[in-house]
Amino acid sequence: MNKFLMTSLLLSALPAVDAVATEQPKLIVQITVDQLRGDLLKRYADHFVASGKSKGFKRFLDDGTLYTNAHYRHATTLTAVGHATLATGAIPSQHGLVSNDWYDRSTGKSMYCVADASNTLLGAKGYSSSAANLLASTFSDELFQATNGQAKIYAVSIKDRGAVLTGGHHGKAFWFDKKTGNMVTSTYYYPELPAFAEQFNQSDAKDAYLGASWSLSLKESQYHNDASNRPYQMPPKGFNLGFPHGMPADASATYYDMLTYTPYGDELTAKFAQHVVETQQLGADDITDYLSISFSVNDYVGHRFGPYSLEAEDNLVRLDKTLANLFSYLDKKIGLEHVLIALSADHGVDAIPEYKALRGSPALRAKAVEDINAAALSVAADLGIKGELIEKIALPDIYLNYSTITASTSSIETVAQKLAEKVAQVNGVALALTAKELTEQNLQYDPIKAKVQNSYVASRAGDVVVVQKRSTMLQSYSAATHGSPYNYDTYVPLYFTGWKVKAKEYTRPVSPEDLAVTLSAVLGITQPDRATGQVLNEIVIR
């Protein structure tokens, strides 16, 4: 018999757990839905499961405390940056994650946010990941310290950065390997792949979707979105323009990669999370445990098909059912009155530019890198500098070539200022700020400049930082994207349900930074060491 079916049958026979909430939650579950803009759950609420205890998103919408005006206070609204902020309660200038990647001058190479060459990947072959680049403690780190290492702390995701950053420096992180379909970790966390992970990898879970077909869950007329953005979509390899999307019949790297662009990827993530709870006995004693689950598929789908696609909408319909099953399991296993569940996102998203322009809104897909290089040539000519002024462009950052500049009569600050002035005139660019401005001036008076300053770490960011105009993609690598300081990218849900949470909605401005410090306050433990968030009293004070 399938071991996951066996687990479900055993759970159905479990005795009912005590329905009285404990003084502290037995388990904290932090759910992050990648690219889930703050308006989307209410927009699609009529699609979600709402029958009794079998609720997914509606467990928040109907029974939870909702903060419906949550915005990030940084400009680089990207996956690593958002997850690090949720985990640490700090802005990027404090936690150090300025982007998914940045340029390392000491090596002359791009540095991936969670790359760790000093450790080894476990469960597959490839590069290793860890939280070594995270410069602040996380809520999970403080929980580890407060319990003398007795709290069980796990983080799971398809993306390594979605698990590593919330797991912190002391938790155990697992992520999906697209070549093998395995859930993997690294020697940063374990000397060898633990038996429970190997057991999951050897099961039929990852291959349960071979030959499956992702079709619409509802009648097409029932969806809020339609097919009108299809001409502008960029489907990944193996996918059609339009439903159904068939999966390969044979296990291969192609199949495992395609999983991440379908609701099956999130379903597999939830299965592994449930496997962790079951085998590691999370929530089984009086010491609060922590489980972070980051669902990545919404981001993969949004980038390729756009947030206003039928694919994006149906993916959330299916994720709702996945969550309903997960919550039902937690209710039987632990009792949801003993589980505090938080839901947020790492960033929002904007529409496909061409689709937005079709509806009369200003939007642009630019070629900024070419124009920035042209601007640099112009500055070099103006200042009489021979050689390349720019060492690396990794938008929004521009790294100057110090060797070229120091060999001239111009200072690095002068070149940076002249280049910023030229780049600000590039098509699609709203403004460009220099390192000197970002480190020596107080820019908090301006809402956009403040977000850029909140994102800046001098040792990792560029000499010039570019801000795009609204609804503008400065380089084209996907149909839709995020990464700007504008509201469509900073707006996310911040919802709570479960342990002692009341049904209430608040519209005052809050930030995802507030999550980590609020969870710390719930448990009465030290806040993460560089946290800048504020405690949400409604979750703490009873």
User: What HEC string does 408-428 produce?
Assistant: CCCCHHHHHHHHHHHHCCCCC
Q: Is the peptide bond before 362 cis (omega within 30 degrees of 0)?
A: no
- Are 535 and 443 contained in the same domain? no
Assess if residue 480 is contained within a domain: no
**pLDDT, position 79:** 99
- Are 314 and 440 contained in the same domain? no
CATH for 176: 3.40.720.10
- Are 406 and 383 contained in the same domain? yes
CATH for 405: 3.30.1360.150
- Are 323 and 380 contained in the same domain? no
- Are 275 and 299 contained in the same domain? yes
- Are 349 and 368 contained in the same domain? no
Residue after which a domain boundary falls, among 416, 439, 470? 470
**pLDDT, position 14:** 41
**pLDDT, position 433:** 99
- Are 241 and 338 contained in the same domain? yes
- Are 84 and 204 contained in the same domain? yes
- Are 400 and 277 contained in the same domain? no
Assess if residue 85 is contained within a domain: yes
- Give the range of the structural domain holding residue 466, as residue numbers without chain letter: 364-470
Assess if residue 481 is contained within a domain: no
What total of structural domains would you count in the chain? 2
Per-position pLDDT tens, the chain of length 542: 343 333 433 333 344 444 566 699 999 999 999 999 999 999 999 999 887 668 999 999 999 999 999 999 999 999 999 999 999 999 999 999 999 999 999 999 999 999 999 999 999 999 999 999 999 999 999 999 999 999 999 999 999 999 999 999 999 999 999 999 999 999 999 999 999 999 999 999 999 999 999 999 999 999 999 999 999 999 999 999 999 999 999 999 999 999 999 999 999 999 999 999 999 999 999 999 999 999 999 999 999 999 999 999 999 999 999 999 999 999 999 999 999 999 999 999 999 999 999 989 999 999 999 999 999 999 999 999 999 999 999 999 999 999 999 999 999 999 999 999 999 999 999 999 999 999 999 999 999 999 999 999 999 999 999 999 999 999 988 999 999 999 999 999 999 999 999 999 999 999 999 999 999 999 999 999 999 999 999 999 86
Taking the CA of residue 26 as centre, how many other CA atoms within 13 Å lie in the half-sphere pointing to its CB? 22
Assess if residue 476 is contained within a domain: no
**pLDDT, position 20:** 60
**pLDDT, position 289:** 99
Rounded CA gap, 367 and 400, in Å?
Answer: 20
- Are 409 and 517 contained in the same domain? no
Beta strands in 297-450 (DSSP E): 339-344, 364-365, 390-394, 397-400, 429-434
Assess if residue 282 is contained within a domain: yes
- Are 112 and 40 contained in the same domain? yes
Assess if residue 358 is contained within a domain: no
Query: Using a CB cutoff of 8 Å and minimum separation of 24, what contacts does 97-101 make?
Result: 97/133, 97/134, 97/165, 98/397, 98/455, 98/456, 98/457, 98/460, 98/461, 99/394, 99/396, 99/397, 99/460, 100/161, 101/394
